Structure 1
Amino acid sequence: MKYQGRIKQWDDVKGFGFVEPNGGGIRAFVHIKAFKQRSRRPINGDIIIYEIEKDKQGSHRAHNISLLKEYKAKRSSANKHTSQTKRNVILLSIFCSVLALLTLSGQLPAVLSIVYGALSLVTVLFYGIDKFAAKNNMWRISEAKLHLLSLTGGWPGALIAQQLFKHKRSKSAFMSVYWITVVVNLIVLGLIVFEVVDVQAIMIEI
Structure 2
Amino acid sequence: MLSPSLTAPSASGVLYLHGFNSGSASPKAGLVRAACAALGVVCESPQLPHRPVAALALAEARLAGLGPTPLVVGSSMGGFLATCLAERHALRAALINPAVAPAQLVTDWVGTAFANPYTDESFSVTDTHIDELAALTPERVTPSHYLVLLGTADETLDPGVAFRCYRGSRTILHPGGNHGFDALAGYLPAIFAHGGHSLAPGDITQLDIDDA
Rg larger for: 1
Report TM bin, short chain. under 0.3
What TM-score, normalized by structure 1, do the two folds share? 0.23
Higher helix share goes to which structure? Answer: 1
